[in-house]
Amino acid sequence: MTTTQRPSADDPRILLDQEAGVFEPIPPYPPRTEREAEFYTLGDGEMFLNMGPQHPSTHGVLRVVLKIQGENVVDLDPVLGYLHRGVEKLAENADYHQVISQVDPLEYVSSLFNEWGAVLSFEKLLDVEVPRRAEYIRVLSAELNRIASHSLFLGWMALDLGGLTPILWSFIERDEIVEMLASLTGQRMLFNYFRIGGVNGDLNHDFMSRLGNWMSRATEQIEAGQGLLNENEIFVRRMRGLGPIDTATALRMCFTGPNLRATGVPFDIRRAHPYSVYPELDFDIPTRSEGDSLARYLLRMEEVKQSLRIIDQCLHQMPDGPVIAKLPRLLRPRPGRAYAAVESPRGQYATYVVSDGTDQPFRMRIHDPSYIHLQSVGLLMKGNLIADTMAIMASLDPIMGGVDK
Amino acid sequence: MDRRFKARLEAHFEDRLTGPVRQRHDETEIRIRPGDVVPVMTELHDNADFRFEFLADLCGVDTGEAMHVVYHLWSDTTPDWLRVIADGLSRDDPRAPSLTFLWPGAEWMEREAYDMFGINFEGNRDVRRIYMPPEYTSFPLRKDFHLPDDAARSPGAGSRHMEQAHLPTDTPSATIRRLPGSRQLPAKP
Amino acid sequence: MLIVAGTLTTKMAGPLIRLWEQMPEPKWCVALGDCTCSGGRYKRSYSTVEGIDRVMPVDVYIPGCPPRPEGLMYGMMKLQQLVKQRRGHWPERAIGPTVPQDV
């Protein structure tokens, strides 16, 4: 098969690889940067191993080029962009209301936090006051989503280490929560529930009965799921001391969320920079000091318990009132800038929006925690075995939809 | 809105700020020149009055006339977010100093700003494409990069300025109703 | 059987085609989700391929963003019907949206 004219590299039509041959890990051009030159030069006894974009445990389409010496990984270079959809550019062409559904599929496991980050920045830009009932519903649904996300993390973590049972158990748990959220929002994932000024619909009878039913069994169910792994000798011995990071390095690598709290820094945006009704709710911030994979895992499990506390308080303190502020369909904020950050299950999810006075954002920047955490995998991986690459990556909990935007 | 923080910023950086310190809700914003980024950031990081040890975000913005690099920082000395805008980068050859000496975690954020805008960060060891393939030559988030939009090519093209980006040449201008205040985008070449 | 879920970008198209070509026959392809069926909500982006049927022959399309679990199960049942029909002969499959004869 011959091509008459190859389209240029920027053409949106795909440049098909005509010789569908071997996927060389070494790029076919000379190194353009210092780091590329350093990485793609082989030392004595080293070789490259390509963990391709299609891989059972790369959490999505991520390509990692490993430089290995025997079984030990000397260095690694993640190659991203296999899921890059250009959300920031599409957001410049969409209404403020439409952008909320565009940002849903970024961290698709915890979509409500993506929406919350976007909606919070728009509300700051527009000086909108959200009714209190809407704020409580937001916190309630978001904390449910946090539990669902951490359950998935548990299952995925075990799957990457080779355990096949915990993921099935965590999917049963996640299924219940997700069906609950479906009765509230209409979808099982990518909820599209938050609106500028509130939420899309009030709590309904189906949701409340499912929630009550689940809450009565939640603690035992979660304990059972965690009991599979917390004291499992194989799990603990593999995870203890794996990929340790200390506080200073974590701060310099811009870590946030459970990955930072596992190193000892009690930084939680819900307490450090409160938003919504979190100042009125009583919850602790679990912190651990070891900084290794086991600490990150145990920390997320403790966060699930704190989320249950928050949900309980929300149910008791839920006020009456409207669930959305009255806003015009055509929203034209005055020119300005706004930055809003929320504490997603992965870390700081932030949105920076620049408005120029029209009904479409001029620039919508989405700051995703998984993207930041993935760049430190190389730092944590030095000297470990290939099998541990996946364990470390899983313990940082990346979601490739968020990494690639 | 922390007034004392604003006073502290004005006292420390009065000669480096290119505009007034703006505050709105819980954000404080300062504008500096790209050449001053390194001293200002080092001061914000090391000085005991400020202690901005946490870099929350680093991004590029293309305003159509110039490019900015926007940094967001957080410290426990003030309840506000600090936004530092390094404005005045030229659109033809935008260059800015890198913050990887202070925060190695800024490396990938700068790579993304390079990939999307073409901003070259001096001092970053790894300025190469991160999202787009390595042979890609355009910078997608620049304002002169237009998305292909099939709605504009249809006879029913409406009045939204997105749909006016590629005007068919034989559409009479009387049928196009512009919203007041909408930007006139250049026609696609 | 290859289930393609999630958006197909121009960077990923090459590896996906390589993966399809590496699969031994008899092979089937299922497009799961709006983005693989037609590009979905990212249709106008600079880096999205508008549906995987532009690069590979698709047997079953399962729409939805996200697709319902019942939709996935229905798609699997449809695939079972197709397997039964095609057992013994392997027609030339075109790349591009095709409408089966017995619709």
Nearest chain C alpha carbon to B148: C44
Contacts of B33 (CB under 8 A, 6+ apart): B16, B18, B86, B87, B88
Nearest Cβ partner for A53 among C12, C49, C65: C12
Apex B25 CA angle, B20 and B29, nearest 5: 30
**Pair type for strands B54-62 and B67-74:** antiparallel
Is residue A305 exposed (0-12), middle (13-18) or buried (19+ Cβ within 10 Å)?
middle
Residues of chain B contacting A253 with CB distance shorter than 8 Å? 103-105
Contacts of A375 (CB under 8 A, 6+ apart): A78, A253, B105, B107, B108
How far apart are alpha carbons A304 and A310 in whole angstroms?
10
The token pair at A354 is 């620049």
Contact yes or no for A29 and B134 at CB 8 A = yes
* Model confidence pLDDT, tens digit, residues A7-39: 555 655 554 544 444 567 777 778 888 888 888
pLDDT range class, residue A1, cuts 50, 70, 90: very low
Amino acid letter, A193 = Y
Nearest Cβ partner for A352 among B53, B70, B107: B70
C18 touches chain A (CB under 8 A): yes
Place of tokens 């709105």: B24
Place of tokens 């995703």: A368
Which DSSP symbol is given to C95?
Answer: S
Contact yes or no for B126 and A36 at CB 8 A = yes
Q: What share of chain C is helix, strand, coil (3-state, %, to 5)?
A: 40, 15, 45
Residues of chain B contacting C45 with CB distance shorter than 8 Å? 147
Please state whether the peptide bond connecting residue C66 to the residue before it is cis, i.e. omega within 30 degrees of 0: yes
How far apart are alpha carbons C59 and C97 in whole angstroms?
10
Residues of chain B contacting C11 with CB distance shorter than 8 Å? 132-133
3-state class of C100 per DSSP? Answer: coil
Place of tokens 């080029």: A65
**pLDDT tens-digit profile, chain B (189 residues):** 778 888 888 888 888 888 888 888 889 999 999 888 999 999 898 888 888 989 999 999 988 888 999 999 998 888 889 999 998 888 888 889 999 999 999 999 999 999 999 999 988 888 888 998 887 888 888 887 877 654 444 444 444 444 444 444 444 444 444 444 444 444 333
* Model confidence pLDDT, tens digit, residues A148-170: 999 999 988 888 888 888 889 88
Ranges of each domain in chain A: 34-79, 87-367
How far apart are alpha carbons A255 and A165 in whole angstroms?
30
Task: Tell me, letter by letter, the H, E, C secondary structure of chain A.
Answer: CCCCCCCCCCCCCCCCCCCCCCCCCCCCCCCCCHHHHHHCCCCCCCEEEEECCCCCCCCCCCEEEEEEECCEEEEEEEECCCCCCCHHHHHCCCCHHHHHHHHCCCCHHHHHHHHHHHHHHHHHHHCCCCCHHHHHHHHHHHHHHHHHHHHHHHHHHHHHHCCCHHHHHHHHHHHHHHHHHHHHHCCCCCCCCEECCEECCCCCHHHHHHHHHHHHHHHHHHHHHHHHHHCCHHHHHHHCCCCCCCHHHHHHCCCCCHHHHCCCCCCCHHHHCCCCCHHHCCCCCCCCCCCCHHHHHHHHHHHHHHHHHHHHHHHHHCCCCCCECCCCCCCCCCCEEEEEEEEECCEEEEEEEEECCCCCCCEEEEECHHHHHHCCHHHHCCCCEHHHHHHHHHHHCCCHHHHHC
How far apart are alpha carbons A190 and A266 in whole angstroms?
30
Supply the pTM of this predicted model: 0.86
Is residue B93 exposed (0-12), middle (13-18) or buried (19+ Cβ within 10 Å)?
exposed
Q: What is the pLDDT of residue A199?
A: 92
- The residues on B that touch C, with CB distances below 8 Å, are 131-133, 140, 145, 147-150
Residue A305 CA: distances (Å) to CA of A144, A207, A262, A312: 11, 21, 16, 11
Nearest to B56 by CA among A343, A322, A17, C93: A343
- The residues on C that touch B, with CB distances below 8 Å, are 10-11, 44-47
The CATH homologous superfamily for domain B3-122 is NADH:ubiquinone oxidoreductase Nqo5 subunit (3.30.460.80)
pLDDT at C71 over 90: yes
Nearest Cβ partner for A61 among C12, C18, C68: C12
pLDDT at A194 over 90: yes
* Model confidence pLDDT, tens digit, residues B134-158: 878 888 888 878 776 544 444 444 4
Contact yes or no for A85 and C19 at CB 8 A = no
Contact yes or no for B126 and A124 at CB 8 A = no
Q: Average pLDDT in the C71-95 region?
A: 78
Nearest Cβ partner for B133 among C11, C44, C45: C11
Q: What is the pLDDT of residue B159?
A: 45
Nearest chain B alpha carbon to C9: B132
Mean pLDDT of all residues belonging to chain A: 87
Tell me which of A173-177, A386-390, B82-86 is least confident: A386-390
Q: What is the pLDDT of residue B17?
A: 86
How far apart are alpha carbons A368 and B107 in whole angstroms?
14
Tell me which of A15-19, A60-64, A141-145, A333-337 is least confident: A15-19
Nearest Cβ partner for B136 among A9, A32, A273: A9
Specify whether the CB–CB gap between A184 and A208 falls below 8 A: no
Q: Average pLDDT in the A267-275 region?
A: 90
The CATH homologous superfamily for domain A87-367 is Cytochrome-c3 Hydrogenase, chain B (1.10.645.10)
Quick one: how far is CA B61 from the chain centroid?
Answer: 2
Q: What is the pLDDT of residue A14?
A: 53
